[in-house]
């Protein structure tokens, strides 16, 4: 028994170093197209020395800024946990794929934002349930321009057509496309806890990693280039008709009623607190007055209260 435990421990250690070395090799392969596309699009990439930074033995992160039409981009390269035998087994059972997640925060715009998404049909229910922006504003829709296994979510048919006209339809019509999921949204994906949540338009892409071959590297580079092309397309090419923009604004007013009430309550609470504090200070000053001065103050307060009651009665009569 003891020998088995020792053998298992040795096996885990050997697997850790072997799996880590394998992921390091893969990271160098995928860093090439990622670095090329980012350096072509941004003036500041990574820390100036390298593009991808290890977050764990199977995860790498990147950050880039300095590009028109967007504030910054951040990404997450997710490899299989080859260094962890148990996690690797879980990936195999759950059919977890290696992927690249890219989130780009677009520049602030005066135009009306929108919510659009393209996801695998098997993920559509979970997305509709878990994402606040999708569940609150978008509805599932279909199009014969995309592969039947893809579900589209959109607020308006005009938005759907313009997004597909970007060339997205060519990508989504391909069953073997690397673009697994795409989101364009001006509303948080998670339900905000307070009314003063930040409204930013974000473009998020989930890209499946292909085989680590020369052809796979080229395909990843092309899909990344298209994602950054979409940044400019969404910012510059999409134009909403006045009636469409009006509908989107109304939809947000309805969806965010809860937060409007929260803001009003917070405003009223702050006002009540100010009034209460002012009253407390006033009563402290009154307590320092002489009996005669206090009597005059009380008389003044009584007349003020009588006037308030009278005004209330007059308003009720009207």
Tokens 């993920």 correspond to what residue? 123
Q: What is the pLDDT of residue 63?
A: 96
pLDDT in tens, 253-270: 777 776 556 555 566 666
Q: What is the pLDDT of residue 9?
A: 61
More confident residue, 316 or 158: 158
pLDDT at 271 over 70: no
Split at pLDDT 50, 70, 90, the class of 214 is very high
Three-state SS annotation for the chain: CHHHHHHHHHHHHHHHHHHHHHHHHHHHHHHHHHHHHHHHHCCEECCCCCCCEEEECCEEEEEEEEECCEEEEEEEEECCCCCCHHHHHHHHHHCCCCEEEEEEEECCCCCCCCEEEEEEHHHHHHHHHHCHHHHHHCEEECCCCCCCCEEEEECCHHHHHHHHHHHHHHHHCCCCCCEEEEEEECCCCCCCCCCCCCCCCEEEEEEECCCCCHHHHHHHHHHHHHHHHHHHHHHHHCCCCHHHHHHHHHHHHHHCHHHHHHHHHHHHHHHHHHHHHHHHHHHHHHHCCCHHHHHHHHHHHHHHHHHHHHHHHHHHHC
Which of 198-212, 218-232, 253-267 is predicted least confidently?
Answer: 253-267
| Interval 201-212 mean pLDDT | 96
pLDDT at 30 over 80: yes
| Interval 25-39 mean pLDDT | 93
Highest mean pLDDT, choosing among 61-75, 186-200, 303-317: 61-75
Roughly how many angstroms between the first and final C-alpha of the chain, as a whole number?
A: 93
pLDDT at 169 over 90: yes
**Mean pLDDT taken over the chain:** 84
Split at pLDDT 50, 70, 90, the class of 157 is very high
pLDDT at 129 over 90: yes
| Interval 289-300 mean pLDDT | 76
| Interval 2-29 mean pLDDT | 71
Split at pLDDT 50, 70, 90, the class of 317 is low
Q: What is the pLDDT of residue 266?
A: 63
Whole-model pTM: value is 0.77
pLDDT in tens, 81-110: 776 666 566 666 666 789 999 999 999 875
Q: What is the pLDDT of residue 198?
A: 77
- Which percentage of the chain shows pLDDT scores above 90? 49
Highest mean pLDDT, choosing among 2-11, 215-224, 302-311: 215-224
pLDDT at 47 over 70: yes
| Interval 224-252 mean pLDDT | 91
pLDDT at 275 over 70: no
């Amino acid at each position: 028994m003891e020998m088995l435990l020792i053998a298992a421990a040795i096996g885990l250690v050997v697997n850790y170093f072997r799996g880590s070395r394998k992921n390091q090799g893969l990271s160098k392969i995928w860093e090439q197209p990622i670095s090329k596309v980012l350096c072509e699009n941004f003036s500041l990439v990574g820390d100036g020395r390298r593009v991808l930074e290890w977050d764990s033995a199977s995860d790498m992160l990147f950050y880039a800024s300095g590009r028109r039409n967007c504030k910054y981009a951040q990404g997450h390269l997710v490899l299989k946990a080859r260094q962890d035998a148990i996690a690797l087994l879980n990936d195999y059972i759950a059919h977890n794929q290696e992927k690249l997640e890219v989130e780009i925060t677009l520049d602030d715009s005066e135009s009306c934002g929108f919510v659009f998404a393209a996801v695998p049909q098997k993920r559509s229910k979970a997305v509709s349930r878990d994402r606040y922006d999708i569940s609150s504003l978008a509805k599932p829709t279909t199009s014969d321009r995309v592969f039947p296994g893809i579900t589209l979510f959109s607020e308006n048919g005009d938005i759907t057509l313009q997004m597909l006209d970007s060339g997205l339809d060519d990508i989504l019509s391909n069953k073997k496309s690397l673009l697994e999921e795409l989101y364009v949204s001006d509303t948080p994906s998670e339900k905000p806890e307070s009314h003063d949540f930040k409204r930013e338009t974000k473009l998020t892409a989930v890209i499946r990693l292909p085989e680590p071959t020369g052809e796979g590297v080229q395909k990843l580079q092309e899909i990344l280039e298209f994602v950054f092309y979409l940044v400019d397309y969404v910012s510059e090419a999409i134009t909403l008709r006045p009636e469409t923009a009006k509908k989107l604004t109304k939809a947000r007013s309805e969806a965010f009623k809860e937060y409007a009430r929260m803001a009003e309550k917070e405003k009223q609470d702050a006002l009540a607190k100010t009034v209460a504090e002012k009253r407390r200070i006033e009563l402290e000053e009154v307590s320092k007055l002489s009996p005669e001065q206090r009597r005059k103050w009380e008389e003044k307060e009584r007349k003020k209260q009588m006037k308030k009651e009278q005004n209330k009665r007059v308003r009720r009569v009207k």
